[in-house]
Amino acid sequence: MDLKTLYREVILDHYKTPRNTTPLSAPSCEADCRNPSCGDKVRVQLRLDDGLVSEVAIIGNGCAISQASASMMTEAVKGRRVVEIEAVMEEFRRMVMGAGSEADREVLGDLMILEGIARLHARVKCAMCGWSALDAALNENGSDVNLDEDTELPASSQH
């Protein structure tokens, strides 16, 4: 799929009318992700019920890819078990980072349409913004992920 088609058929729809944008009144967990080099910002809020994401909300602004990817993420996680979501997150990360091996269509489903992002190296961070916030919400409630920092470094060595 060429870039214009990808934007026209998928990305702009989610960018202009993002899904699940009503803030949750009492989220079980939430986290922010920001990409300071371009101003992309996504907050993810989750309501967890018995190991299942019953409600999800995103609040953010930024480029079309960052916001559309976050919007599609909400559709992919709503109503699913956290263990399944962890698998989707991992597979999505592998896909957009261009892990080499073919992405798992069964795990990713509709998200496969964003496969082409792997070729746009400068945009991978944009596509990951909502997903990084989701990961942080599930695993480090209340955190604020900064995509410009090398997250692989231990926090103590960043100063």
| Binding of another protein by 22 (CB under 8 A) | no
| Binding of another protein by 126 (CB under 8 A) | yes
**Beta-sheet strands, E only, within 4-142:** 29-35, 40-48, 53-61
| Binding of another protein by 4 (CB under 8 A) | yes
| Binding of another protein by 3 (CB under 8 A) | yes
| Binding of another protein by 159 (CB under 8 A) | no
Q: How far is the CB of 34 from another protein (least distance, A)?
A: 11
* Cβ-contact 29, 48 below 8 angstroms: yes
> For another protein, how many residues bind (rule: CB under 8 A)?
19
* Cβ-contact 31, 142 below 8 angstroms: yes
In this structure, the dihedral spanned by the alpha carbons of residues 18, 19, 22 and 26, taken in order and rounded to 10 degrees, is -130
Binding site for another protein (CB under 8 A): 3-4, 7-8, 12, 36-40, 61-65, 120, 122-123, 126
